[in-house]
Amino acid sequence: MKKFTLALTALTALGGIALAAGSATAAPMSVNGLQSESGVTQVRMDRSERMMMKKRMMRKQMMKRRMMKKRMMNRGM
């Protein structure tokens, strides 16, 4: 039971350290663990930018479908 308790506390401590380090964020970290002001401002996506992203995703999906269709036709059964 003591080994289990020790293992549980060690995992809890490691999990707390991982969360405190901010591993889920892409912002740069400062010395004390808070997110620093890096001068990067977030702006809303424009309608044209959204359309470009949509077209790019549609093109990727179309290429993927075409590749799968070729693979199915040329499998040689």
Q: What is the pLDDT of residues 6-58, one digit of tens each?
A: 677 777 776 666 555 555 555 555 555 555 567 888 899 999 999 999 999 99
- Tell me the C-alpha distance between 69 and 61, whole Å: 12
Q: Quick one: pLDDT at residue 16?
A: 65
C-alpha 57: how far from chain center: 17
pLDDT band at 4; cut points 50, 70, 90? confident
Write out the two tokens for 26: 């892409």
User: What are the backbone angles phi and psi of residue 60, rounded to the nearest 5°?
Assistant: -60, -45
Supply the pLDDT for residue 18: 56
Residue 55: predicted pLDDT: 97
Please tell me the predicted confidence (pLDDT) of residue 48.
95
Say whether 23 sits in a helix, a strand or coil. coil
Write down the pTM of the prediction.
0.41
